[in-house]
Amino acid sequence: MSSRKTVELPKVDPPKSNALIALPRKGCLGLCRESEEERFEAVLHSADIEEHLKNSIRRRYIHLIHEYRSRAFCYSLLYHIGHLIITVGSLIVPALLSVQYTNSLIEYQTKIYWLTWTLSLLVTTFNGVLVLFKVDKKFHSLHTTLERLRSEGWQYLELTGRYAGHLLHNGEESSHKNQHRFFCHYVEKIKLSQVEEEYYKYDDTSKGLAQTPSQKTAKESTIVLPSINEEISSLNPPQTVKDVMKGLISDTESIPSPTNEIVVPINNPLPK
């Protein structure tokens, strides 16, 4: 009988499932779905940068995303509910006023009166609230800023757009490490531009920078806050009395003499 020799093949371990490269969690009917922070964190975890740079993105950028999303949601509710009540109420109130005193609805006259009064009060109140808190402006501003921040973050993670290496001048290949400072810079610019639009615009130009005539004209035509690096020299008081006297003498010398002055010589008196 021929003896058969069995050869044992080496065991190969099955590939380990990596949770970071798995498909995103879809959930059921919109529930238990993967959040925006989880999607961004899954890609950020695989980025080739130091851990303290990742923490700065988590503490600043993701926090801004969460803050603007919460504010945008609140203003979105107020915007849509307010405009819905104003639009529908403005159509119903004239219709109720036209049928209030009809003979067939005399028994409902009191109810129609109070219903009309309530709708008119709601329309006026929501219209005043929308105007007072500038809900329309903040609704569009917050949603625009939120979408800009989202696009900026994904452009950085994908190294596309302005993070594809155009900002580097030495021909170096773009990476998450050398593009990190540009990403933080543009995130702060987006944040400050939204702050200027919502609250007050300020000017951050220093004295040493040369300005074009158009920039000077734009600066003079707008009321802006001075930069924290710029001193208000026009309010500096004089240091000594000597400086005050010099200023008075220079002001006196700068006054022009009248042109129609009559000069009378001393030796030649006026004729009688």
- DSSP secondary structure code for residue 177 in this structure: T
Q: Which residue, 167, 172, 198, is CA-closest to 184?
A: 167
Boundaries of domain holding 138 = 36-207
Distances (CA, A) of 65 to 71, 107, 147, 149, 187: 10, 56, 9, 7, 11
Q: What is the pTM of this model?
A: 0.64
pLDDT in tens, 54-102: 999 999 999 999 999 999 999 999 999 999 999 999 999 999 988 877 7
pLDDT number for residue 168: 84
Q: Has residue 215 been placed in a domain?
A: no
Q: In this structure, is residue 59 part of a structural domain? A: yes
Rounded to an integer, what distance in angstroms lies between the CA atom of residue 117 and that of residue 86? 14
Segments in the chain below pLDDT 70:
1-24, 27, 29-30, 202-272
Whether 231 is in a domain gets the answer no
Q: Which amino acid is at 219?
A: K
Residue 238 forms part of a structural domain: no
Rounded to an integer, what distance in angstroms lies between the CA atom of residue 110 and that of residue 101?
10
Task: Decide if 4 is inside a domain.
Answer: no
Residue 234 in any domain: the answer is no
Q: Is residue 171 assigned to a domain?
A: yes
Tell me, rounded to whole angstroms, the distance of Cα 64 from its chain centroid: 11
In a domain, 62, yes or no: yes
Q: Which residues contact 89 (CB under 8 A, 6 or more apart)?
A: 119, 120, 122, 123
Q: Which amino acid, one-letter code, is at 204? A: D
Give the list of residues 6+ apart from residue 165 with CB closer than 8 angstroms, or none.
159, 172, 173, 174
Render pLDDT for 24-42 as a digit per residue (tens, 0 to 9): 677 676 677 788 888 899 8
* DSSP conformation letters of 98-164: HHTT-GGGSTTHHHHHHHHHHHHHHHHHHHHHHHHTTHHHHHHHHHHHHHHHHHHHHHHHHT-GGGT
Q: Measure the CA–CA gap between 194 and 188, rounded to whole angstroms.
A: 10
Q: Are 149 and 37 in contact (CB under 8 A)?
A: no
Count of domains forming the chain = 1
